[in-house]
Amino acid sequence: MAVERTLSIIKPDATKRNLTGKINAKFEDAGLRIVAQKRIQLTPAQAGKFYEVHAERPFYGELCDFMASEPVVVQVLEGEGAIAKNREVMGATNPADAAPGTIRAEFAESVGENSVHGSDAPETAAQEIAFFFSGLELVG
């Protein structure tokens, strides 16, 4: 399997509870390397642009407000099959369905406030990395 990069976000519910280090340990223990990382505060409009694919869903407004409610940590994870591996480490969207040991099983508060975002395919990973990081920030 090829070495890939994926975009990860540690969401406001997790940064607020000081869980950045515990979540990063889960990534590193799974063999994912954090090759870029920064803590930023999104505006609701920026969150809306990032999640524009969900614009028609009933929870969109709530999702944008939540993502702008506290700082987030945006990061690029790298490794063999990083996109699928990260989704595995994250667990299912709804923490009630997330496998034991996954980030969402251990830390998520609800389906909306579920601690982490991870890209779902190579195309979205490339778009989402470019949304947050410039080429200069992406040293190997």
Which parts are annotated binding residues?
A: 11, 59, 87, 93, 104, 114
Please provide residue 130's backbone torsions phi and psi, each rounded to the nearest 5 degrees. Answer: -65, -25
106 part of the interface to ligand DAT, by CB under 6 A: no
114 part of the interface to ligand DAT, by CB under 6 A: yes
Please report how close the Cβ of residue 114 comes to ligand DAT at its closest, in angstroms: 5
59 part of the interface to ligand DAT, by CB under 6 A: yes
Dist CA 35 CA 91 (whole Å): 22
**Of 63, 36, 32, 35, residue with least CA distance to 50:** 63
Dist CA 19 CA 21 (whole Å): 6
Please report how close the Cβ of residue 78 comes to ligand DAT at its closest, in angstroms: 19
Which one of 79, 117, 119, 125 is the catalytic residue?
Answer: 117
Nearer to ligand DAT, 96 or 137 (CB): 96
Dist CA 81 CA 5 (whole Å): 8
109 part of the interface to ligand DAT, by CB under 6 A: no
Active site residues: 117
